[in-house]
Structure 1
C-alpha cells in the first residue's frame, strides 16, 4: 500500500506559485481557480478564504493525483486518490486520512472493500485476491485480520477467529479445533495438531521452539449453524458450538478431493 508520502501537498499560503481565478474582497483565493505551485504540482477547483475547500483536483508532479472534496486544504469527504505505483483508493477521507468506507485497489489487482481508520483497514471489510479469487471477510484492527472472520476459497471456506492475520482455535484445547465448509453441501470438522520442534538455544540461552501445525480430519457432516452457549466450567465464558440443520451423504473422500488441508492457512496483507 502506498504510504502517506505520496500525499504531501505544497503550501499555497500567500502568493506562492501562479494562480488564475476568483478572489474575495480581501484578495484571497475564493471561488473557482487554478494554481500552479512552485514545485510543479497543480490544483484546479474550489477555494474558500484562500484554502482548498469544496470539489477540486490536485495533481502531483510525480504522477499521483487526488480528485474529490476538500476542507481547509485537507482531503475531507468523498474522493479518489491515484498513487504513483498504480494503486487507487476511492472512498471517504477525514482530515487528510483514509477513514470511513472505501475501496483500495492494489497494484496486483487485489482489492479491499470496507472500513478504514487513520489510513488503516479497520472495522468490517473484504479483501479479495485477484489471481485466485480467494477472499477474507470479517473484522480488521489497524490493518490486520482480527476476531471473527471467514476465508472463502474456490470450493471451501473457513469460519472462525483470527489473531494478527493468523487462524486461531475455536475452543481452548491442547489441539486446535476448526471447521471447513465445502461447496458440496457438507462440513469437515477436525483439528490442527501442534508439533513443537526444538531449533537449539537462542543467544540468551532460551530454547527457540518452532510450532508446526498438521491437519487431522475428524468428521464430515451436514451443514450447521453457529450458536453461542455459556460454558459453566469457565465462569460463563461464551463459546462456539454447532447445531445441525440438515443431513447429507458426505464422505471424507468427497471433502478431501476439494482441498488438501495439510497446513494452516496464513495470508500476508
Structure 2
C-alpha cells in the first residue's frame, strides 16, 4: 500500500515559492489562490489565514495528487488521493490520514472498501482480489484480518475466524451444490532453511485445513 505523501508548508523559510490569489488585511493568504511551493509542489484552492482550508487540489512533483477538503493545512473531510503507482483512495480523512469510510483501489487492481484508522484497514470492510475474483468480508485490525470473516469464491465460500491475517480455528466451507464441510484451520510452523534460530522471521506459518463431516446446507 502506498503511504500518504507529506505536504510542504507555506509561508515558511527564506524561499516562499510563488502565490497568486486573495489575501486578507494582514496580507495572509485568505480566500482562493494558486501557489507554487518551494519544493515544486503546487496547490490551487481555498485558504484561511494563511493555511489551506476548504476545497483544494494539491499536486506533488512525484506525480501524486490530492483533491478534497482541507482544515488548517491538513487533509480533513472527504477527498481523493491518486498515488504515483496508480493506486487511488476515495473517502474520508482526518489529521492528514485515511480515517473513516473509504475505497482504496491498489496498483494491482485489488480493492478494499470499508473502515480506516490512521491509514490502516481497521473495522469492517471488504477486500477483493483482482487476479482470482475472491472476496473477503469481515473485521480488520491494524491492517490485518482479525475475528470473524467470510471468503467468497466462485462456487463456494469459507466462514470462520481469522488471526493475524490467517484463517485459524473452527470454520466451515459452504458449497453452492447444497452441502457444507465443517472443520478447523490449524497453523503449521516450518523452520526456514538457512535462517538463524533467534530470527523472529525464521518460522514460516501456513494455515492447514482439517476437514470433518460433510452435511447438507
Listed one character per residue, the Cα deviations across residues 214-260 of structure 1 (whole Å, up to 9, x for unaligned) are 5454322222xxxxxxxxxxxxxxxxxxxxxxxxxxxxxxxxxxxxx
Query: Does the CA-based 8 Å contact 2:110-2:130 persist in structure 1?
Result: yes
Within-5 A mapping of 1:240-251: none
Which residue is 1:221 aligned to? 215
Larger Rg: 1
Which residue is 2:145 aligned to? 145
Given the superposition, is the C-alpha separation of residues 169 and 104 from structure 1 closer, same or farther in structure 2, using an over 3 Å criterion?
Answer: same
Given the superposition, is the C-alpha separation of residues 73 and 195 from structure 1 closer, same or farther in structure 2, using an over 3 Å criterion?
Answer: closer
Which residue is 2:76 aligned to? 76
Listed one character per residue, the Cα deviations across residues 13-39 of structure 1 (whole Å, up to 9, x for unaligned) are 258111111111111111111001122
- Equivalent residue of 1:38, what SS? coil
Which residue is 2:174 aligned to? 181
Which residue is 1:12 aligned to? 10
Query: Does the CA-based 8 Å contact 2:166-2:207 persist in structure 1?
Result: no
Given the superposition, is the C-alpha separation of residues 149 and 17 from structure 1 closer, same or farther in structure 2, using an over 3 Å criterion?
Answer: same
State how far apart, in whole Å, the 2-side matches of 1:199 and 1:39 are.
45
Given the superposition, is the C-alpha separation of residues 137 and 40 from structure 1 closer, same or farther in structure 2, using an over 3 Å criterion?
Answer: same
Which residue is 1:120 aligned to? 120
State how far apart, in whole Å, the 2-side matches of 1:140 and 1:71 are.
28
- Equivalent residue of 2:108, what SS? coil
Query: Does the CA-based 8 Å contact 2:167-2:207 persist in structure 1?
Result: no
- Equivalent residue of 2:54, what SS? strand
Unmatched runs of 5 consecutive residues or more in structure 2: none
Question: Higher helix share goes to which structure?
Answer: 1
Which residue is 2:98 aligned to? 98
Please state how far the C-alpha of 1:137 moved relative to its aligned partner: 0.5
Unmatched runs of 5 consecutive residues or more in structure 1: 171-177, 224-269
Listed one character per residue, the Cα deviations across residues 83-128 of structure 1 (whole Å, up to 9, x for unaligned) are 0011100000000000000000100000000000011000000000
Please state how far the C-alpha of 1:184 moved relative to its aligned partner: 1.5
Which residue is 1:261 aligned to? none
* More deviation, 213-222/108-117: 213-222
TM-score (norm 1): 0.72
State how many pairs are aligned. Answer: 210
Query: Does the CA-based 8 Å contact 2:168-2:184 persist in structure 1?
Result: no
Given the superposition, is the C-alpha separation of residues 66 and 212 from structure 1 closer, same or farther in structure 2, using an over 3 Å criterion?
Answer: closer
For the aligned residue pairs, the C-alpha RMSD in angstroms reads 2.4
Please state how far the C-alpha of 1:192 moved relative to its aligned partner: 5.2
Given the superposition, is the C-alpha separation of residues 73 and 196 from structure 1 closer, same or farther in structure 2, using an over 3 Å criterion?
Answer: closer
